[in-house]
């Protein structure tokens, strides 16, 4: 169901004590706000997920994971399964983040397997797509994003596809302080929705939540979120500061 959402991707940041403090402060801040049915998802490092789901039980945010291995159990040293996530009340998992594509060589087929394994276990994938700067400068950004969607998502049937969340994260905007303009974000989000409409029909495309990610902060969030096809944000650096993150949530 299309919903406005702010999700925080903490990446590999915070000690346990710091994470506990941040999550408690965010929970307290959310208690004071009227979320109007909008969603807040926090994706801490895996070690802190149980602490986060404990706090979430009494709060207005939900918990997501940053990564998963596409098998329910087995000899995969160091990995975490979608079943483990589900059993800890983790509702979401980021898939296809550009950092995992780049640093861990995760390819489209592997991402497709993760999407399938998550959906099989009732965990919603937050699927990231986005082009690099050279790809945009060469005018290939639409094709790149479309290819990423086709390769890892378009095998899904309509019922499964309608459960997922998409995050458009132009790689050149991630952690750089250079966000996509509201026009660039809207243009790509509208393109994504249009391609999905072509594949799954207008109703499913209109119902899909598409988040923007990449140097989104308290200053630019309201402008980005005001665009008709931008349904909120996937926030990195700015999700690590309580006040800034709460201001972004208030911008929905």
32 counts as catalytic = no
In this structure, how many other beta carbons lie within 10 angstroms of the beta carbon of residue 36? 7
CB of 201 to ligand 13P, least distance (A): 28
Segment contacting ligand 13P by CB under 6 A, of 12-20, 132-140, 196-204, 236-244: 236-244
For residues 223 and 162, give the distance between their C-alpha atoms in angstroms, rounded to a whole number: 27
Q: Which of 99, 106, 135, 169 is catalytic?
A: 169
For residues 233 and 189, give the distance between their C-alpha atoms in angstroms, rounded to a whole number: 12
Give the single-character DSSP code of 131. Answer: -
139 exposure class (CB count in 10 Å sphere: 0-12, 13-18, 19+): exposed
- Report the candidate in 60, 105, 65 with the shortest Cα–Cα distance to residue 86: 65
Q: Which of 38, 62, 97, 131 is catalytic?
A: 97
- From residue 171 to residue 200, the character string flagging contacts with ligand 13P as x (rule: CB under 6 A) and all else as - is ---xx-------------------------
Q: Which of 236, 245, 246, 251 binds ligand 13P (CB under 6 A)?
A: 236
In this structure, how many other beta carbons lie within 10 angstroms of the beta carbon of residue 88? 16
CB of 226 to ligand 13P, least distance (A): 18
Q: Which of 62, 106, 131, 169 binds ligand 13P (CB under 6 A)?
A: 169
38 counts as catalytic = no
For residues 190 and 230, give the distance between their C-alpha atoms in angstroms, rounded to a whole number: 8
Q: Does 104 bind ligand 13P (CB under 6 A)?
A: no
Q: Which residues bind ligand 13P (CB under 6 A)?
A: 9, 97, 169, 174-175, 213-216, 234-238
Residues marked active site are found at 97, 169
């Amino acid at each position: 169901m299309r919903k406005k959402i702010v999700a925080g991707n903490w990446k590999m940041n915070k000690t346990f004590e710091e994470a506990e403090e941040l999550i408690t402060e965010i929970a307290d801040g959310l208690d004071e706000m009227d979320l109007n049915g909008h969603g807040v998802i926090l994706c801490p490092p895996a070690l802190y997920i149980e602490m986060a789901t404990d706090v979430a039980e009494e709060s207005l945010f939900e918990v997501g994971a940053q990564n998963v291995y596409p098998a329910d159990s087995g000899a995969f040293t160091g990995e975490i399964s979608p079943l483990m996530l589900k059993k800890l009340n983790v509702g979401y998992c980021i898939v296809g983040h550009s950092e995992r594509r780049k640093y861990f060589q995760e390819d489209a087929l592997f991402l497709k397997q993760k999407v399938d394994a998550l959906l099989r276990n009732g965990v919603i994938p937050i699927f990231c797509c986005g082009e690099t700067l050279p790809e945009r400068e060469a005018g290939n950004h639409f094709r790149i994003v479309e290819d990423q969607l086709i390769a890892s998502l378009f095998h899904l049937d309509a019922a499964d596809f309608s459960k997922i969340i998409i995050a458009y994260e132009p790689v050149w905007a991630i952690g750089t302080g250079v966000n996509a303009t509201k026009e660039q974000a809207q243009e790509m989000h509208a393109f994504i929705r249009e391609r999905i409409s072509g594949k799954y029909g207008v109703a499913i495309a209109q119902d899909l939540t598409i988040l923007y990610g990449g140097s989104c902060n308290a200053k630019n969030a309201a402008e980005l979120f005001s665009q008709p096809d931008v349904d909120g944000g996937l926030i990195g650096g700015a999700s690590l500061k309580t006040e800034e993150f709460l201001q972004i949530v208030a911008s929905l």
